[in-house]
Amino acid sequence: MSSTTSTTISDLTPYAAFKVTNLVLAAEGLDKVITPQMLYSYAQKELIATVPGSKPILFQGEAFKEWLDKYVSRVRNGDANARVDYEALAEQFMADEDPEDEDEDEQDDDDNEQADDEQADENE
């Protein structure tokens, strides 16, 4: 005789999903932590299927499991969005300054000073 058992995955709130996600990421040895706001936002935008009419809002268990598996895979592969390091980003923009642009800026400043001097001479 063969018996089949089906496992159903419980529906869960965005907060519970946040906790589960962080526990799974840690268990996988991944250095990534998400915030509960991320999953509340996903619920509002229905990026993960929700239980229609549920109060409080609930993710459908199977849909969350599917999302979680994909998300863990993306984190493992380095494809998950990371927080923006604004300091590093600013350094990139500062490093991209072209020395020729600085020369042009200095020339523009000189031209403006000369025009101001000429205007002052005319007004005297």
63-115 pLDDT, tens digit each = 999 999 999 999 998 876 655 667 777 888 888 665 555 555 555 666 666 65
What's the Cα-to-Cα distance from 9 to each of 3, 47, 48, 66, 68, rounded to whole Å? 19, 18, 14, 11, 12
CA 88/CA 90 separation, integer angstroms: 5
pLDDT at 12 over 60: yes
Reference 23, options 77, 68, 56; nearest CA is 68
Q: What is the pLDDT of residue 78?
A: 83
17, 63 contact by CB (below 8 A): no
Q: Can you give the pTM of this predicted structure? A: 0.60
Q: How far are the Cα atoms of 46, 56, 75, 109, 123 from residue 52, in angstroms, in the given order?
A: 11, 11, 29, 63, 75
Give the model confidence (pLDDT) of 53-71 as tens digits.
Answer: 999 999 999 999 999 999 9
| Residue 108 confidence (pLDDT) | 60
So what's the pLDDT on residue 109? 62
Tell me what pLDDT residue 91 has: 83
